[in-house]
């Protein structure tokens, strides 16, 4: 089951949306590496590749929230921590297992892909809306 960026994931903020597209692409590359090679090192490499971009993206999103004085930033940062912990757990799974198991793939689907969908639709959309309202305050 590959992840897919569809219209329901659009927040309306161009930076956030384009970074989410890239994130989903990297999730799929991880899933593909599990499917095609089922090789631990290949999966590890793609997990790191995903982790790198996750860091970049979270930092950008948190900086944006700071710059607009977003009131929900503390809670939002805690959510980002959740995914960071998941990535660390996935790392441990790969270290303990021979290759990426079905259990590993299931954890990616549930704790990364589904987590992200839910996070985008609630938390990220609310940031984008707040920024939009703030930018258009004078005109509304
Ligand atoms: Fe976020």
Q: Which domain, by its residues, includes 27?
A: 13-134
Q: What is the pTM of this model?
A: 0.94
pLDDT of 1: 86
Going from the C-alpha of 11 to that of each of 24, 47, 85, 120, 129, the distances in angstroms are 15, 25, 25, 8, 8
Six token digits for residue 26: 């990297």
What's the CA-to-centroid distance between 116 and ligand 1, angstroms?
A: 8
The verdict on residue 139 lying in a domain is no
The verdict on residue 117 lying in a domain is yes
The verdict on residue 40 lying in a domain is yes
Reported as a single tens digit per residue, the pLDDT across 44-100 is 999 999 999 999 999 999 999 999 999 999 999 999 999 999 999 999 999 998 889
Asked if residue 139 has pLDDT above 80, the reply is: no
CATH (domain of 26): 1.20.120.50
The verdict on residue 8 lying in a domain is no
The verdict on residue 1 lying in a domain is no
Ligand 1 is an ion; residues with CB less than 5 A from it: 61, 124
């Amino acid at each position: 089951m590959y992840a897919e960026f569809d219209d329901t994931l659009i927040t309306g903020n161009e930076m956030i949306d384009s970074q989410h597209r890239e994130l989903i692409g990297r999730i799929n590359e991880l899933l593909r590496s599990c499917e095609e090679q089922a090789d631990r090192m290949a999966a590890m490499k793609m997990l790191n590749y995903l982790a790198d971009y996750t860091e970049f993206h979270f930092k950008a999103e948190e900086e944006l929230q700071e710059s607009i004085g977003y009131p929900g930033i503390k809670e939002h940062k805690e959510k980002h921590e959740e995914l960071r912990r998941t990535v660390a757990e996935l790392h441990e799974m790969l270290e303990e297992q021979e290759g990426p198991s079905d259990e590993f793939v299931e954890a990616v689907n549930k704790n990364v892909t589904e987590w992200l969908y839910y996070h985008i639709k609630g938390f990220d959309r609310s940031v984008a809306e707040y920024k939009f309202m703030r930018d258009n305050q004078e005109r509304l």
